[in-house]
Amino acid sequence: MQALPLRLPPGADLRDALGRLLAQQHVDAAWVVQGIGSLSAVELRFAGVDAPTSLRSDYEILTLAGSLSPDGPHLHMSVADAQGRVLGGHVAHGCIVRTTAEVLVMLLPGFRFSREHDARSGFPELVVRKEA
């Protein structure tokens, strides 16, 4: 396991930047342990809803966590608005960094994450494999 602290600059798409990370680091599995920062645009898919909700204003990232696989990121995040109201959900494309996003990623060499259909849940779910 290798810790990789990152800072994403203003204008970066949070999900896209983390989605490119595995190829850049030449690994097939990683875990986003935590993230903080600010966003000017938020795209969150709430529980039980098919499409993301778009939020446009200044938001603080309170929590960010999830898995990174070659199939793409699976991230969840909570954010707070200027009045301190908190929303959270599944991170979609279009979460744009306002001033900074500071993220701690744990690279997991020797493992491969994938997303495969799970008959019980009906969704593509995480499969963890140890590489030889």
Say which CATH number the domain at 111 has.
3.30.1330.80
The total number of structural domains in the chain stands at: 1
Cα distances from 60 to residues 70, 74, 103, 111, in angstroms, run: 28, 20, 13, 32
Contact partners, residue 45, CB within 8 Å, separation at least 6: 51, 52, 53, 89, 90, 92
Taking alpha carbons only, the member of 124, 35, 22 closest to residue 88 is 35
Q: Can you tell me which residue has the tokens 């898919």?
A: 45
**pLDDT number for residue 70:** 96
Is 132's pLDDT higher than 90? no
Average pLDDT of the segment spanning 61-88: 97
β-pairing, 30-45 with 53-69? antiparallel
Is 11's pLDDT higher than 90? yes
Residue ranges making up the domain that contains 59: 2-130
Q: Give 90-127 pLDDT, tens digit per residue.
A: 999 999 999 999 999 999 999 999 999 999 999 999 99
Q: How far apart are CA 17 and CA 13, in angstroms?
A: 6
